Amino acid sequence: MGRIKLAFWGFLALLTALCLIVDPPALPPAGIFAMRSPMVQLTGILAMGCMSLAMILALRPRWPERWLGGLDKMYRLHKWLGIGGLVLAITHWLWTQGPKWLVGWGLLERPVRGARVPAQNAIEQLLRSQRGFAEDLGEWAFYAAVLLIAVALIRAIPYRFFYKTHRLVAVVYLVLVFHAVVLLQFGSWATPLGVVMAVLLASGTVAAILVLLRRVGADRTVEGTIARLHYYPELRVIEGDIDIPRSWPGHKPGQFAFVTGDPADGPHPYTIACAWDPADHTLTFITKELGDYTRTLRERRYVGERVTVEGPYGCFTFEDDCPHQIWVGAGIGITPFIARMKALARERKTKPRPSRLQEVDLFHPTADYSEEAIARLTADAAAAGIRLHVLHDSRDGRLNGERIRATVPNWREASIWFCGPAGFREALRRDFAKAGMDVAKRFQMELFEMR
């Protein structure tokens, strides 16, 4: 989370500093109308900067994933940028409209405008001729952006509707790029601010076009066939195998991929629940019926169906130098730990002296219970040499930090790897922080929230 905040606030600080260098504020302020032009420029630049970077991240680029700690963290930054862009766009709109309202209400007097400096070249003249059109177009694009971002943020709106409408943000963004190019002060283009904005707007434009052409992740997508489906009725969980005959680059345990069946449904992220074996070329995914889409998977998917798999993504890969690891897989959050156990079991078979000698305690709290699933989990843990602690809520009560610390006496030397509900994650993180653990470095988590 620290790097997400650093990237978000650092990016805004950089753009703000560049704006202040180009157009330093007058001191003392000479009234609302004197402040209006620089504030309109500042808020517009910041809003377009946020939207441009969010559009670039929508392509799921490789380069920032490792630094941010995984695609899940990158999508959290994407969300913050979307919210930040919305707030700044509203502020920008208020600065353009607010003074006019105050004049209309008789609270302000409009100052007398001086003569406008003539355009210095044909390009500036052309841009000036488009100002009125750009202002009108930008206002309507702003209203559309507010509506589309609201749809993205309101969880009550079904995912399928969100998926179909969210692509329209790319169209709105392209309109706002035209608005920004025309209305940015012409002299700013020859400054460092202009160079940065030109790169952002050009990169965002390319990203928006690729989004509209459905080319997101195209270089990381392979085709496969559903080879097996198994349903656990007690857990409301579907386990499926996808046969990928070629092109899959391999993955680390704990990573995830986007799977697409019907293109109209769009790609959905699932943690990969197996270790990669090139000789077997099969990926296993486990899905719980939780949302409006996953509740329909049993009826939608079938053996023999052609699907596409995009990935792998994520940095939840169990890589640290702590002598002990504590794993907490709550409910369906057990999936990445299954993959890691299978990889460790294979390593124990193939290598007489495994390279990693970490002790591991796996806690699996669950509200639902399946004898079949727990038997398989127990076998995986035994094969991997991991201590398994299964807690059925109605039988054993809730898991908390105190119970973990009582079970693992050397927890101070351990790292915690957590996958599960957000509320439980934050409660456990706060608990261990109060107990003295440096959770910023030793509490690893997956923010498996792509919306």
The single-letter code of the amino acid at 310 is: E
pLDDT score of 288: 86
Region 2-110+121-212: CATH code: 1.20.120
Distances (CA, A) of 133 to 56, 172, 176, 410: 27, 15, 12, 67
Segment among 25-29, 312-316, 438-442 with least mean pLDDT = 25-29
Place 438 in a pLDDT band, splitting at 50, 70 and 90.
very high
Residue among 401, 422, 427 at smallest CA distance from 412: 401
The contacts of residue 331 (CB under 8 Å, 6+ apart) are 288, 365, 366, 367, 368, 420, 421
**Residue 50 in contact with residue 85, Cβ under 8 Å?**
yes
Residue among 168, 4, 163 at smallest CA distance from 78: 4
Say if residue 95's pLDDT is above 80: yes
pLDDT score of 280: 85
Q: How far, in Å, CA of 92 to CA of 184, rounded?
A: 13
Task: Report, as an integer, the average pLDDT of 366-385.
Answer: 93
**Residue 219 in contact with residue 59, Cβ under 8 Å?**
no
Region 324-445: CATH code: 3.40.50.80
Place 358 in a pLDDT band, splitting at 50, 70 and 90.
confident
272 three-state secondary structure: strand
Say if residue 351's pLDDT is above 90: no
Task: Report, as an integer, the average pLDDT of 261-276.
Answer: 87
Q: How far, in Å, CA of 173 to CA of 179, rounded?
A: 10
Residue among 299, 298, 292, 222 at smallest CA distance from 257: 222
Full-model pTM: 0.87
The contacts of residue 166 (CB under 8 Å, 6+ apart) are 148, 151, 152
Place 353 in a pLDDT band, splitting at 50, 70 and 90.
low
Q: How far, in Å, CA of 149 to CA of 86, rounded?
A: 8
Q: Report the DSSP beta bridge partners of residue 242.
A: 226, 283
- For residue 235, the 8-state DSSP code is T
Residue 149 parent element (H or E): helix 131-153
Phi-psi region of 282 (alpha: psi -120 to 50; beta: other; left: phi over 0): beta
Task: Report, as an integer, the average pLDDT of 60-79.
Answer: 90
Q: How far, in Å, CA of 293 to CA of 270, rounded?
A: 13
**Residue 221 in contact with residue 274, Cβ under 8 Å?**
no
Q: How far, in Å, CA of 420 to CA of 45, rounded?
A: 38
Which residue ranges make up each domain of the chain?
A: 2-110+121-212, 219-313, 324-445
Segment among 41-50, 71-80, 152-161 with least mean pLDDT = 152-161
Tokens of 298: 């049993």
**Is 324-445 the same fold as 219-313?**
no
pLDDT score of 386: 94
**Residue 303 in contact with residue 337, Cβ under 8 Å?**
no
Average pLDDT taken over every residue of the chain? 89
- Name the superfamily (CATH) of residues 219-313: Translation factors (2.40.30.10)
Question: Ranked by mean pLDDT, which of 9-18, 69-78, 227-236 comes out on top?
Answer: 9-18
Look up tokens 């209305």; give the residue: 183
Q: How far, in Å, CA of 417 to CA of 316, rounded?
A: 8
Distances (CA, A) of 124 to 131, 137, 179, 184, 388: 11, 19, 14, 11, 69
